[in-house]
Structures are given as structure tokens and as C-alpha cells.
Amino acid sequence: MTNQSVIFFDIDGTLLNHDKKLPPTTKEAVFKLKAQGHIVAIATGRAPFMFEDLRKELEIDTFVSYNGQYVVLNGEVIFTNPLNMGSLEKLTETAVHQDHPVVFMDHEDMKANVPEHAHITESIASLKIKQFPTHDPDYYKGRELYQSLLFCTEGEEIQYKQDFEDFDFVRWHPLSVDILPKGGSKAIGIEKIAQELGIPEEHRYAFGDGLNDIEMLSTVQNSVAMGNAREEVKKVARYTTNSVENDGIKKGLLTVGLL
């Protein structure tokens, strides 16, 4: 297909609405894109095991997960970018003294360094996923981790940002921030896939709504912010569509001329 494009969709607030449901018009639009010969991919901060059901429902096997740290093309891993383990161990020691739990995450599972904590319960529950982190304070040892979660209230992450330069911290919930390798982003993962596919920049599209979508939407040539996105996200996108609840994906794809 001469004009084949690749379209990357964020999950939460983009493909899925506030209730973590997939709007019927969104599912219909995705399959129309595929029927036209385009490549549909996911770009999310979630772990691969957190959106298996969605991948099956939409028949998608190409994705950027962990905000760009674990990238899969046609079911095969093509790029990984693990966290610095020495720095993560030091951060965890600091967090323990501050009563800030940490969850360690690889491509298969997630484990908390504490048996239980209200901040973990509340924030993970908001994702409405089947998985919940169990307790294993040594899970980081001897394995590659692609993201971790630090549980603290807004503003409390500032000291971590100053003390741990190997990491980027991106808030995804009032009680939690993602810990990422410095400079890691969805944009890097998207570039890896697009290059592997040989898709030129003018045929790359991305839809998102969150703070972790800013690099993606400011880098991908045809970027679309959801109507429910924060203002700083809308500012970097080329287009803005309706909210996810109001057929935002379908409207956005019509706007950019893909439907």
C-alpha cells in the first residue's frame, strides 16, 4: 500500500473512556483503519500485561509500552530500555524512609516493596485492571525493570527529581508517578517501530491525552490531542478532537483524513 500509515493510540483517556470502556465508534474506527491497510498500534504507559485483553479485542500486536521502554512489533520485542538498578535501589531506600511505597515492574509482572498501602490500592484500582501488585521487596534484583511506580502526593516527587538524575518522573495519578529511564518516552518507541516499518514521518499519526503523551504529540507529525486532554497537552498537538466520550477517535481520524 503506497500511502500506508501507522497510527499510535494511547489507552487511558484515548482508546478507553473514564470508566475504562472502549466506545463502539472507537472500535469500529480501528477496524476500518486496518481494513484500509493501515497499521494500528498502541502507545501507553501501561505494562504489556495490563492491556492484553484490549490487544486481543482490537487484534493489535504492535505496541509501545512502559512509555517507550518496551517496544513490540508484530509480536516481537524490538527495543528495551531498562531502569538503572543501582539508582533504583537507592531511590527505594530513600522512599522507605518517607513512607512512599515503590512498585517494581517488568514485562511480566509487578511487585510492591511493602505488603500493602492505601496509596497503592487507590491508584491501581483506578486503572480497573485484573492485576494488583503483590509483595516482593527483592523483585528488582537480577532482572530488567522497565518502569517503577512511586507513590506520593503531588509535589513530593520534586526532591526525587533533584536527587535521582538517572530517572524521569511523570505523574499519572494524584497519588503516584511513573519512574522512567532519563529521556525515555513514547516518542522513542514510536520512532523504533516507524523506522523498522519504513513509514515516513508524514504517514505517522498519534492520539493521546496525558502528560506522558507530550513528547509523542510534539514529535509525531500528525498528532491529535483528545478533547479531554490537559491544556499543556493540547498545546503541543497539531490537532484537537472531541473527548473520548464524544466519539473523539472517530472525529480525529476524520479530521486528519484517515476515515
Q: What confidence score (pLDDT) does residue 222 get?
A: 98
Chain segment 41-92, per-residue pLDDT in tens:
999 999 999 999 999 999 999 999 999 999 999 999 999 999 999 999 999 9
Residues 193-205 have a mean pLDDT of 97
Judge whether residue 1 has pLDDT over 60.
no
Residue 93, C-alpha cell as written in the block? 531506600
Taking 90 as the threshold, does the pLDDT of residue 3 lie above it? Answer: no
- Could you give the domains of the chain? 6-80+184-255 (3.40.50.1000), 85-181 (3.30.1240.10)
Among 203, 231, 230, 234, smallest CA distance to 218 is for: 234
In this prediction, residue 186 carries a pLDDT of: 96
Extract the C-alpha cell encoding 139. Answer: 523483585
pLDDT at 231 over 70: yes
pTM for this predicted structure? 0.91
pLDDT-derived band at 2 (thresholds 50, 70, 90) equals low
What count of Cα atoms within 13 Å lies in the side-chain half-sphere of residue 78?
Answer: 21
In whole angstroms, how far apart are CA 252 and each of 129, 145, 206, 259? 27, 34, 10, 9
- Catalytically active residues are 10
Decide if 22 contacts 60 (C-beta within 8 A).
no
Instruction: Tell which wins on pLDDT, 1 or 69.
Output: 69
The mean pLDDT value for 234-249 works out to 98
Q: How far apart are the first and last CA of the chain?
A: 16
Q: pLDDT tens, 5-42?
A: 999 999 999 999 999 999 999 999 999 999 999 999 99
Could you tell me the CA-to-CA distances from 245 to 17, 24, 166, 205, 229 in Å, in that order?
Answer: 6, 10, 37, 20, 12
pLDDT at 213: 95
Average pLDDT, the chain: 96
CB 72 within 8 A of CB 81: no
Closest CA to 90 of 172, 142, 166, 147: 166
Percent of the chain with pLDDT over 90: 95
User: Helix or strand or coil: residue 49?
Assistant: helix
